[in-house]
Each structure stands twice: as structure tokens, then as C-alpha cells.
Amino acid sequence: MKKAFKIITPILLFGAIWTILFFGGRYMLYLQEQLQLFQNDWNYFIDNCQYNAGFAQMVSEFIIQFCHKPWLGTMIIALLLTITIYAFKSILQKCGCTKGVTPLAIVPIIPLIYSLIIGEFAFPITQFIIATIGSWAVVNIPTRYRYIGTMLISPLLFWLCGAPAILLPIFTIIIAVNEKCSAKNIVLNTTPLLVYLLFGVIGVRIGFIGSMDHFINHTMIKLPLKTLRDAQPLIVVGWYSSIVVALYGLITKNREFITENRWLNISLQTLLVVIMGAVVWFKPDIQYTQNVTFKEYNLWAKLHYLYTQSKHQELLDLYNNADSQSIIESNYINLSLYREGRLVKDFFKYSPNGHTSLLTNWADAPFPIAFLWGEVSSEMGFIAKSGQTAYEGNVLSGPRGSSMFMKLLVESEIIMGNYKTAKKYIEALENTIYYKEWATQQRQFLSDKAVAQSKYYNAKRKCIIKGNAVMALTNELILLKEIIKINPLHKSTFDFASLMTLSAGAIPAFREIITEGVQSRNFMPPFDGAIQEGLIIAYNQYPVFWNFYKVSTDLQNAYQNFAQAIKERNSNPMGAKAVFSQNEGRYWHYIETMTQRAKAQQNQPKIEQTTTTEIPNN
């Protein structure tokens, strides 16, 4: 029975932690993977190991890359946390807790899991894992050699994982007191702690380590938290709690923790796991950043996952209440509609937030909005702006680079003809696991001849507006019209321009877009659904144009019935309601319900909108 408990208990603990990570944080962890770029080459390894805590940074990136497949990444993290718990359990036994310490060993992990999911802190939790496992290895050295081992290993551990390495000399002192509480023994085992501190201070003085700011920031609790993204002090809480628990082991020296009853210990362990789950799940309305709650940001991470994994229909199926959709959600929905070839047909079925549902500004707003801006810009034909956004997003992601922005950079540099630069980004992506195949495929386009033969890249290159003025333009409508002139075959530009002007209520501008398209002789009537609906509104005073643009007779009749229902809605409310229901998702219904939608948006996150303020209102 005892052997069975030894096997079952860690399996149950691993399963519980994995469940919490998978269901509570898989999309946030996937987004962390997208904002990092682990490269498996020797230069990358050597560069990381040249500075303090660089090894821990490298390990955290190595682990987080597997979150590209959420089930695998969360499983690896859960396994490492389970190993860390049992390593800490062994340390506690050395400190004096001889029995039933597994529930106690879970305590420091609770704030760490919470901060990992909500705060995007894979690096600090990796530091703690390395420090704990390293401490476990050293404290198991025979007593007479332990203080020497601690003295030698502490500076090395500090170099590998940073500030949490201070746990090792502290654990050594507690264990020494537990084993032999004499002044000589305590002084002797305090030496490694002094060596550790001197190593850090002298290293800073001579420029060997750099700065102790990082150390101080990671060892000082700065509560209360303003937003969840400031949750890094919770990691320090985990470090402190491990020391407190070890001291408890010393105080209760040679006594069992609560009970020797294994079932009760498993019950306590289960309760602690439930607490871990609770702190993850019961946080939907807590502010995450910039007036955005965690629930909303986590949804955006999910939308990003579904879109980048080409799960477009699943993303569209998430749409339940159109009036509650934020700008970011609408952008992902419309990108998926575009990928499915349904953007023009179904655009108004998803009750978009005006023209910002097609292009929202990413400046000073949280990720993954920068990716959205770069992606949509590329589809519209704003190649220079897409590349600029991808570059800035890559820089803001940190010194490691970002997979999602680097892929955009590869495409934009190829389109712009900057092949040497594109090759550098390709080489970086080829040193990864999940982006190697895609990057290698892009090598075939590193020449003008190859781009000319590529339907995708050639169409994008023809969208480039010559001259320096393009970078100074902030009016997306002017840019769209210019692209329609120089590259009329780029249909997505025409589609986006038509829908942007319609959703902005800029009917005169919409007429200009249609005229430009028809004059180019590449966009001839009949047009797709939403554009036909827009034409009915644009020329409702001149029905002769309905026939000129070959607007569907069924749509003409549907609009006339809708207009009649508006006139009679006071006298015949039930009939009007039935007609309104039949017309949901059509442009004229969108116009009629615009005021209601605006009221519903008042409680949405205050995300900065697009710079397209120049699009006139009708």
C-alpha cells in the first residue's frame, strides 16, 4: 500500500497541475510562445550563458516553445513543477519535517502558477525551478562537505538562475541548525551565504554581472498590485514562502506535519490544488492591463491561437452576442472571414464596430493587437506599414525576437525586395522547431524572378506605392484608393476599401471606390453581397443605378420591405420585428441599429482606435 501511495500521489498531483495549466492558461502560454523565439544553435546557447541568469532565460524559452502545442507545453511545465515540489519535499525533510510534507511543499507553487498564467512570467518560475532542484542536489551532500559544496555552488547557481539561488545557502543554514545547533556550526554554514552576497556585490562593482537592480526587483515585494501584469511580486512571495516553510520544519523539528495519515495528507494536497485552480479561475473581472480585464485578454489570446492555427470556423463559432464584441474580437473575426473567402459576403452578419473592426491601431495597446495591425495591413496592401509594424512589434517583444512578427517581417522584406534582410530572418526561424519548415519554403522567393512567378508575392509587390510620401500618410482611405489605381487586380484592397467606407458611413467615399473599380475594368458588376447592399443605400434616391450595377432583385425587394417596416414599426411592431429579424446581417440593418450598438460599446475596453479619422461621416 505504501508503494502504491508513492506512485499514485505524484501522478495525481501532476494531473491536477496539468489540468489547471491546460484549461486555465493554455492560450496565454501559447501567446507567450508567440512572443519569444528560441533558436537551437550553438551561438544562441553561448550567448545566453555569457551573462547572469541567461541560462535560466534560455531554459524558459526552451520550455515555452512547446506551448505552440498547448497540450504538450502545459504537460512539460506540469511535470517540472511536480519534480520541483518533490525536490522541495526532500529539502523540508532535511530541515526537520520528517513526515507528511507534500502538502506543505505545494504552498510556494501556488503563487508561481498564478503568476505564470496571468502574468506571462515563464522566466522567473524557471529560475525558481532551477534554484530548488539545484538546492536539493547540494543539501544531499554529506554533512561535513555540505557547507563547502554550498560555498562553491551558490555563486555558480546565482550565475545560472539569478536571485533565487539565495535559497541554497539559506536552506543550508536551516539544515545545519536542525542537525547540530552550535555556534561553530551556524557560523561555518553562514559562510556560503556571505560568499553568495559578496559574489553579487563585487561582480556588480567590477562590471562582471552588470546590475543588482534585477536582484533587488526580484527580492522585494511591491504590493498592492495595480494590474495583473504587475504580478511578478507574487513570484517573490513563492520564494519567501519556501523559506518560511523550511523554518517551520525547523520549529517542528522531528515531528510529523499534522498527521502521518496518508489519506488526510492526500486530502490536504487536493485542497491546495483546488486553491491553485480557484486563484486561476476566479479572476475574470480583475484588471489585467490598460482597462482590460483578464477575462477579455485571455479571450484575445484564444482568438489569436485559433486564427494562427487556421481554426477559422471554430473562431467564427465563438461569436454569440454581436453587440458585445470588442474591436479586437471583430478584427480577428473579419480576418477569419477573409481567410474563408466570406468577408464581403458575411461582413455585416457579425455587427462590426465601424471601420475599426477592419483595422485597429496597435500603438500603446496590449498584444496581440500589433500582430493584427500588421496582418490586416498586409491583406489590404499596406506593405510598408505592415513591415514597419512587424519590426516595431518584434523589437518591443524583447531582445529574443518574436515568432509571429518575424514571419511578417520575412514576407514584407521579400515583397520590398530586401532579400539579404529577409534571409537573416529566415535563418533565425530555421533554427526553431515549429517555424523551420515554413522559413525554408520562403528561401525559394529570394530573387526578383521568383517573386514575379509567385502569385501571392507578386500581387503584394504591385501594391507598393512609390515614393517616400507613403510613410507619412495616415489616411488609409487615400492609400486604398492609390493601390486600387496601381494594382487593380489586388481584390482584397477593393473589398477592404468598400467595407471600410460603408461601415464608417462614408457613402460618398464608397461611391468613389466603386467608380475607381469599375473604371479600372477589373471590378465589374454584379458585386458580392455586402457591396450590393451598400449600393442600394448609396443610390436609394436614384434606383436606376440599382439596375446599372446589377443589384439583385431579391435584395431590392428585401430593402423596400425593410424601409416599409421602419415606417410602420409603431403601428405594426410585431410585423416590423419579423422583417428586422429577416434582415439581420444586412447593411441596412447595420445602419439602423448603429446607435444601439454604440451604446453597447460604452462598457468595452478603451482600446485606441485606428488613425483613420479622415474617413468622412456621411
And the C-alpha cell for 287? Answer: 484588471
The pLDDT of residue 57: 87
419-435 tens-digit pLDDT: 999 999 999 999 999 99
pTM over 0.85: no
Query: Between these two residues, 203 and 518, which has the higher pLDDT value?
Result: 518
CA of residue 262 relative to chain centroid, distance: 41
Mean pLDDT of the region 301-310: 90
Least confident stretch, 2-11, 404-413, 476-485: 2-11
Residue type, 104: L
**By the 8 A CB rule, do 536 and 546 touch?**
yes
Cβ-defined contacts of 296-300 (< 8 Å, 24+): 296/326, 296/605, 297/28, 297/366, 298/27, 298/28, 299/329, 300/328, 300/329, 300/332, 300/366, 300/368
The pLDDT of residue 130: 92
Classify residue 528 by its DSSP letter.
P
The pLDDT of residue 367: 61
Q: How confident is the model at residue 257 (pLDDT cuts 50, 70, 90)?
A: very low
- Does pLDDT of 606 surpass 50? no
Q: How far apart are CA 235 and CA 113, in angstroms?
A: 9
The pLDDT of residue 133: 93
Mean pLDDT of the region 31-54: 85
Q: Among 49-58, 136-145, 306-315, 326-335, which range has the highest average pLDDT?
A: 306-315
Query: Which residues in 69-93 are b (16+ Cβ under 10 Å) and which e?
Result: ebeebbbbbbebbbbbbbbbbbbbb
The pLDDT of residue 609: 38
Q: What is the mean pLDDT of the chain?
A: 79
- Does pLDDT of 239 surpass 70? no
CB atoms within 10 A of CB 45: 15
Mean pLDDT of the region 70-92: 91
- Does pLDDT of 168 surpass 70? yes
**By the 8 A CB rule, do 409 and 394 touch?**
yes
And the C-alpha cell for 537? Answer: 443605400
Phi, psi of 287 (to 5 degrees): -65, 130
Task: Name the maximum alpha-carbon separation found in the chain.
Answer: 103
The pLDDT of residue 618: 34
Residue type, 272: L
The pLDDT of residue 300: 84
At 56 the three-state DSSP class reads: helix
Q: How far apart are CA 176 and CA 158, in angstroms?
A: 21
The pLDDT of residue 444: 95
